[in-house]
Amino acid sequence: MHDGYRNGQARVGFAKAMKPPPAWLKPGVRVDYHAIIGGPVTLESATVRSGPHRMGDHWSVWLEGKASSVDVEAVTRAKARP
């Protein structure tokens, strides 16, 4: 299987143009986390611990209650709950 490297050299010129993360996604904001992007909410009203950071070819954030960072595509603004 081809792993994207040739003679020990990394491939270049294949980087995707990344769109910026949502402007509203900042530390302290409450979000709903979806383990499956577009699926049901799996963690309600989690607090963003750190602003978006780049992980490879996507943006991630750290959430309270999660052991690792999550893709920004997996979070939505928290809905007001009664």
Per-residue pLDDT tens digits for 2-50: 555 555 555 555 556 778 999 999 999 999 999 999 999 999 999 999 9
Side by side, the strands of the sheet bearing 58-63 are 70-71, 58-63, 43-55, 30-33, 75-77
Is 30 exposed, middle or buried (CB count within 10 Å of its CB: 0-12, 13-18, 19+)? middle
Residue 8 lies in a domain: no
Domain coverage including residue 69: 17-77
pTM over 0.75: no
Q: What is the pLDDT of residue 3?
A: 53
Task: Evaluate if residue 54 carries a pLDDT over 60.
Answer: yes
Domain tally, the chain: 1
Task: Evaluate if residue 60 carries a pLDDT over 60.
Answer: yes
**Helix, strand or coil for residue 75?**
strand
**Helix, strand or coil for residue 70?**
strand
CA–CA dist 48, 21 (Å, integer): 13
Residue 61 lies in a domain: yes
Residue 57 lies in a domain: yes
Residue 9 lies in a domain: no
Q: What is the pLDDT of residue 57?
A: 86
